[in-house]
Amino acid sequence: MKRSWQGQGFFEQPHAFTYLLIAANILVFALVLSLNGGIVPSPLGFWKAGGLDPEATARGEYWRLVTYAFLHGGVLHLAANMLCLALWGGHLEKRMGAAYFLIIYAVSIVVGGLLSGAAHQGQKILTVGASGGISGILGALFCLWILGKIELTARFFVFNIGLNIVIAASGLHIDWAAHLGGFTAGLVACAVMDLVERANGQWLRCKFPEPVKLSLLALALAGAALAAPALPALAPTVPPAAGVVAGVLVFALVVKGMDQLLSLRHGLAIAPFSLALLNAVVVLALVDLRVDAVCPALSAIPFALDAVCAHRGLAAAVAAFIVLFGSLGFSRKIIERGMRDLGFHAAAMRGERSRKVGL
């Protein structure tokens, strides 16, 4: 298939969750600097903050596969990564929506971290930076271009992929494995999502609005965080894989339930309201049951330690309250549309599902 050098603009205005990721990275950078007295942390400081250490990850500190991506080695490192996130993230979030955008980013930083750990196994190397996730965004955009589902130009990819290769190969302190792993993960994840969307047309009646997708993503993450520590305890009687399969099936039933609700009159209001309640209940249980595991990580922030760890029940209730009303506020527009629904919105979502194949 021929590809034109003409297409949509090189720069796309960043959208809400691209801005949130940029803000989170800047906030963590400022917090790390403040806790370190305003000087770039030493390798030990980065390690304590959650830098990616292959040996620590092998010992079971899997959370480092996420936290490393929010740490940066200096202002220049942070600025370069946030510039690329703004340049590429706007295109992907606009095209795929916030939920799929966040999934691709998360998968890319984890796979980038895993490949980095595998490439440096046995070496005393500490990896920090969002390069894996940002390279994953570029990989997903490249996948969409190959599939003919985005109007970016060939020049966009020649310039940006070439720049990524040059940066990854330019210095001793650039982790090429994280770049390559993130890019590959983003490309593959995008292709899998396209297949999933094609399959969804066979068992889901409605095209889900973005707030519903985001609420489902939040529910899946919170549910996984709640259930994961229980899997090793089940090992003597139930294989962990069986627990994972059971969790996936439960989530699939929830998704199908939301699909049925969206098919009803006023379903556009009922579905996000139901998900807000579910998320609040899961977060209530998550904070109440898992706060003891989090408290050691909060030891460097005395106020947080006192507010959360000394008042577990109150902290759980406050977290559930924030999630409930935050979810309702985020879904306010579609809930209002659903309340006024005369029966047209469900038909429109069913029509969109039947018309659109894949992403």
pLDDT in tens, 318-354: 888 999 999 999 899 999 998 988 878 888 888 888 7
Query: Which residues, listed in sequence order, are joined to residue 52 by a DSSP beta bridge?
Result: 127
Instruction: Report domain extents, the chain.
Output: 1-200, 204-359
Q: What are phi and psi of 180, to 5 degrees?
A: -65, -45
Which one, of 247, 240, 254, 242, lies nearest residue 226 by Cα? 247
pLDDT in tens, 18-76: 999 999 999 999 888 887 777 777 788 888 888 888 888 888 788 889 999 999 988 88
Distance between CA atoms of residues 236 and 134, nearest Å: 40
**In sequence order, which residues have a C-beta less than 8 Å from that of residue 67 and are 6 or more positions away?**
49, 50, 51
Please give the share of the chain, as a percent, with pLDDT higher than 70: 86
The pLDDT-based confidence of 2 (bands split at 50, 70, 90) is very low
Distance between CA atoms of residues 220 and 231, nearest Å: 16
8: buried, middle or exposed (CB in 10 Å: 19+, 13-18, 0-12)?
A: middle
Can you spell out the DSSP letters for 122-156? TS---B-SSHHHHHHHHHHHHHHHHTT-----HHH
CATH 1.20.1540.10 fits 1-200, yes or no: yes
Q: What is the pTM of this model?
A: 0.86
Distance between CA atoms of residues 216 and 222, nearest Å: 10
Q: What are phi and psi of 64, to 5 degrees?
A: -65, -20
Side chain identity at residue 305, one-letter code: L
Check: CB of residue 78 under 8 Å from CB of residue 30. no
Query: Which residues, listed in sequence order, are joined to residue 127 by a DSSP beta bridge?
Result: 52
